[in-house]
Amino acid sequence: MKVLLDLQYLNVASTGIKTYMVELAKAARKYPHPEIEWIFTHEPDKQAEDQTYKDLTSKIQKLNYHLDYFRWKEFQLPDMVKKYKPDVLICPDFVSPAASLPCRRMTVIHDAFFWQMPENYPKWWRKYFLNLIKKGLKEDTTLITTTRYSKTSLLEHLGDSLPIEVIYQAPKGMTAALDQKFQGKLGLNIQDYFLHIGTFDKRKNLPLLVESYAAYLKKTQSPKKLVLAGGPGQSKQMNDFPVVQQLVDKLQLQDQVLLPGYLTDGQVKSLYNGAFAYIFPSQNEGFGIPILESMGFGVPVIHSDQPALLEVAHGAGLSFQTGNSEDLTEKMILLETENDLREQLIHLGKARSKDFSSKKFIEAFYELILKPAP
């Protein structure tokens, strides 16, 4: 059986979708199946390194990218289907071609944010992208999503005319050497800082985290710092980075809140390796990869009680009421004062992280690919 995996979007992907695509391609090669032949539209590492459409600023550049993406999905990818004659086409970036295809489709829709949070996207772009998604939901298509929460959300907005399957993904395999000097460059000590890694999208609730951290400092007089690593939100509507900067200045936390920007895998590993705790205050997630990354490094996690995060953590994290700054502050204090609780969370987290592996990720795909037609 031939399976064609569409990896074109790796030339711009920078968030969880990039991790999903890279780890799926790696797992397919690491754990081959005797009945399945994989065909990649692009070499994963090479496509991820392509700088042609990275960090676009002008409207002309962005338009050129969207035209290139449209040409790929609607003309070039269908041509590859004709050339290689796959039994299954997997599109891991929401969009499958609108053209009729002589094969099964598996389209990964990671979350329902486009429907749940329309205010976070430019109106014209959202309308255009949703149209692309819907036109590709046709023929023999199975939708794949990341959690039971995402499946419930998609059923609410897309209905049940197409089957929706849940496949838990694997966290990022960070093989780079740990940057031994990075913590020192930031003036950090082992277990002397709280950590968050990710973009400054509004749904991440990072201003709330800064406010909770400020209250934590007042109540405890703790020397612990807060590290918020990552770049700005993906659009002007979604970007909370300026808000966080202004809040840090207003609360006079310039020496306590560190904003190191985008990091290499070696730097990320260094921060995970020394963090006292990871804090994930997001108001909406489809999965929540950093929860598993943190747990794998033996870092206890405080997370909002958003359904996807509760599902992924499965009781191995310390949850607080989503959007409740005071509750988050109390959980930070609790983790500092209750060492037995912290040790318990570390133990539970390490065990939970083992439930999400590359082997389990690809085996779930194999089961679905080889599943007999109803």
Q: So what's the pLDDT on residue 53?
A: 80
Within a domain: 94: yes
Q: So what's the pLDDT on residue 119?
A: 85
State the pTM of this model: 0.93
Within a domain: 175: no
Q: So what's the pLDDT on residue 121?
A: 83
Q: So what's the pLDDT on residue 246?
A: 96
Q: Following DSSP, what letter does each residue of 69-80 receive, concatenated?
A: HHHIIIIIHHHH
Q: So what's the pLDDT on residue 60?
A: 86
Residues 162 and 299 in one domain: no
Residues 231 and 293 in one domain: yes
Taking only Cα atoms into account, the Rg of the chain, rounded to an integer number of angstroms, comes to 21
Q: So what's the pLDDT on residue 195?
A: 98
How far is Cα 243 from Cα 268, in angstroms, rounded to an integer?
24
HSE-up of residue 15 (Cα within 13 Å, Cβ side): 15
What's the domain range around 93? Answer: 2-170+357-369
For the stretch 208-251, pLDDT in tens is 999 999 999 999 999 999 999 998 877 777 889 999 999 999 99
- Considering Cα of 259, then 347, then 302, then 316, what sign does the dihedral take? positive
- Report residues of the chain scoring pLDDT below 50: none
Number of structural domains (the chain) is: 2
CATH number for 102: 3.40.50.2000
Q: So what's the pLDDT on residue 69?
A: 93
Residues 115 and 233 in one domain: no
Q: 107 forms bridges with which residues in the sheet?
A: 91, 143
Collect contacts of 258-263 with beta carbons under 8 A, ≥24 apart. 258/186, 258/188, 258/193, 258/225, 258/226, 258/227, 258/228, 259/228, 259/229, 260/186, 260/227, 260/229, 261/229, 261/230, 261/231, 262/229, 262/230, 262/231, 263/197, 263/229, 263/230
Within a domain: 97: yes
Q: So what's the pLDDT on residue 173?
A: 84
Q: So what's the pLDDT on residue 374?
A: 65
